[in-house]
Amino acid sequence: MNVTELHKMKEAGQKGLVVLIDPDKCGDGYLDELLTIAAVNKPTFFFVGGSLMTTQRLNETVQFLKKNTDVPVILFPGSGNQIDENADAILLLSLISGRNPELLIGEHVKAAPALKASGLGIWSTGYILVDGGAPTTASYISGSQPVPRNKPEIAAVTAMAAEMIGMQCIYLDAGSGAQNEVSPKMINSVSKSVDLPIIVGGGMKTRDQLEAAWNAGATLVVVGNAIEKEPALLESLSESGSQL
């Protein structure tokens, strides 16, 4: 799946809901319950991956999703070894809010041969960590300081630089388990500064939060922890988005 599909969504003013699945957190029966609900309340995409994976369930999770749903599966890798050619695409994340060279280009170099051979759609993504009110696995593992929540101008100029370099979308992420979501003010500031689709995740728990993010300029809003705790939440959240 090419990233042009995401650009078409933005151009058409469409908004999407993404369910983020961390293979480490897929307890017994979780995916079965989730897909039963998703059969009626389809998200736009499933993102699969995480900042730190301690199990070997990535491939198993991707294959289960591809076998049991027609919702596109996009890899959300925390490192260059989180690749599965059975997925539809991969977010090739560059941590542009940090200065860790491994997460700007190092992991990409290591993964390049496998990605080239995989046939996966490559979504070159400028990844911006935003302070969500609590330390996250992403900030700890990356050794980077998130953009302060009250400094939307930092996120905006960082996104501008990513667009000029040639990245294809921007991901604003408060991180897994964030206490506070990315503010609509920051989303709007970034949206007005670039012509790229904007993905927003971290701390999303309610319909009001999703609506606020979409209205501020997000094309995709990602929900992870909240649905892990309560898969049935997908039903109420999906009612507020326009799906593909």
Q: Which residues are annotated as a binding site for Mg(2+)?
A: 22, 51
Long-range contact pairs involving 54-60 (C-beta distance under 8 Å, separation at least 24): 54/24, 55/23, 55/24, 57/23, 57/24, 57/26, 58/23, 58/82, 58/84, 59/84, 59/86, 60/23
Residues 243 and 219: their CA atoms lie apart, in Å, by: 11
Buried b (16+ CB within 10 A) or exposed e, 25-34: bbeeeebeeb
Asked if residues 219 and 188 have their Cβ atoms less than 8 Å apart, the reply is no
Residue ranges of the annotated binding site for sn-glycerol 1-phosphate are 171-177, 202-203, 224-225
Residues 6+ apart with CB under 8 A from 106: none
Q: Which residue has the tokens 């309560």?
A: 230
Residues 157 and 213: their CA atoms lie apart, in Å, by: 19
Residue ranges of the annotated binding site are 22, 51, 171-177, 202-203, 224-225
Query: Judging by beta carbons within 10 Å of its beta carbon (0-12, 13-18, 19+), is residue 118 exposed, middle or buried?
Result: middle
φ and ψ at residue 197, rounded to 5 degrees: -65, 145
Identity of the residue numbered 63: Q
The single-letter DSSP state of residue 79 is S
